[in-house]
Amino acid sequence: MNHVVISKDGTRIAYGRNGEGVPIILVDGAFCSRRFGPMGGLASLLADRAAVYIYDRRGRGDSGDSGDSGDTATYAIDREIEDLAAIIEAAGGEAHVFGMSSGAILALHAAAAGLPIRKLALYEPPYVQNEAGNPAAQEDPAARIAELAQSGRRADAVAYFMTKIMGMPEMAFQGVRQAPSFPGMEAVAHTLAYDVTITRDTSLADKLPHIRQATLVIGGENSPPPLRQAVEFIASAISQAESRLLSGQSHDVSLDALAPVLRDFFSIRMPR
> Would you state the pLDDT for residue 70?
45
pLDDT in tens, 34-60: 999 999 999 999 999 899 999 999 999
What is the chain's Cα-based Rg? Answer: 17
Look at residue 49 and give its three-state secondary structure: coil
What phi, psi does 51 have (nearest 5°)? Answer: -95, 105
> Would you state the pLDDT for residue 139?
74
Superfamily the domain 3-130+203-265 falls into: Alpha/Beta hydrolase fold, catalytic domain (3.40.50.1820)
For range 253-258, the mean pLDDT:
98
Residue 73 pLDDT > 90: no
Strands of the 117-123 sheet, one edge to the other: 3-6, 12-18, 50-55, 22-27, 95-100, 117-123, 214-220, 241-246
Residue 6 pLDDT > 70: yes
> Would you state the pLDDT for residue 270?
56
What phi, psi does 78 have (nearest 5°)? Answer: -55, -35
Domain extents in the chain: 3-130+203-265, 135-194
pLDDT in tens, 120-135: 999 999 997 655 455 5
